[in-house]
Structures are given as structure tokens and as C-alpha cells.
Amino acid sequence: MLHNVLVATPVMLLCLLLQGVVVTICLHRYAHFRHTYKGKEALWMDVLLLSTVMLLTLLCNFVQMAIWAALFMFLGEFSDFTTALYHSGVNFSTLGYGDVVMSRHWRMLGPIEAANGILMFGVSTSVMTAVVMEVIKYHGARLKQE
């Protein structure tokens, strides 16, 4: 099991770094956008902001699944990337079908990826929640001014 943890650690760190970069970009862009359009109230702006944050965090999670799939390919667990990506998606999302499994030697990577994935989806959800709360706060403050 130790060899699974040692192999998974750099991938988990890469995923954490990637998620951190995407979260930072989302929050910086949100703050910049909100500052640039301060005082202008339009439904399309809120929809654009929320949709952008959701899309970026979702794409980030898909990229992380692909990184795990690349590791599985590198380890020789799958002969094609499509199957490796499918298996990675099932693990990362904690869906856990079990129809495609890895060899006994690397099987522990599945739960490790699932732990990484649930953490990353949690971070994505918290970022989206923070943006929704900020939109509510922004509009609440504007209503008090009227």
C-alpha cells in the first residue's frame, strides 16, 4: 500500500495546486468584474459570473481526472486512454461502479483518487457557494441603498 501512496502523492499535489490556481483565478476575476461593473445591475452579469465560475471549476475537475488517467496509463493499467479516463472519472467522482478495476498491485489508487476527488469537488462547491453568497450580499446592499 505504501507504494500506492508514494505514487499518488505527486498527482494529488498537482491536483491541489491546479485547484488552487483555478480558485484564485476565479476569485480574482470575480472581484475584477464586480469592481469594473460596480453600480450596474443586470441579470446577465450575475448569470455570466456564476456560469463562468461553475464552468472553470468543472473544467478543472475534468483536467484532474485526465491527470489521474494519465498516471494509470503510465503504470500500464489500461491499454487506452478512454478506459483510463472512464475509470478515473468513476473514482474521482466517488461513483464507484466497479465495472473496470485495476490490478491488485495498484488497486488502492482508486480510493486515494476518490479521496482527492471528493476534496476537489468540495472546494469547487465552496467557491460556487461563496460567489452565490457574494451576489446575494451585493444585491442586498443595493436594495438597502434604494
- Please write the tens of the pLDDT for every residue from 76-115: 999 999 999 999 999 999 998 888 889 999 999 999 999 9
Are 4 and 112 in contact, with CB atoms under 8 Å apart? yes
Q: How far apart are CA 20 and CA 109, in angstroms?
A: 22
The CATH T-level fold of domain 2-26+45-145 is: Helix Hairpins (1.10.287)
Tens digits of residue pLDDT in 12-55: 999 999 999 999 988 888 788 777 776 666 677 788 888 888 99
Give the pLDDT of residue 9. Answer: 95
What are φ and ψ of residue 101, in 5° steps?
-125, 155
Domain boundaries, the chain: 2-26+45-145
Task: Give the number of other CB atoms < 10 A from CB of residue 140.
Answer: 9
Q: How far apart are CA 136 and CA 97, in angstroms?
A: 38
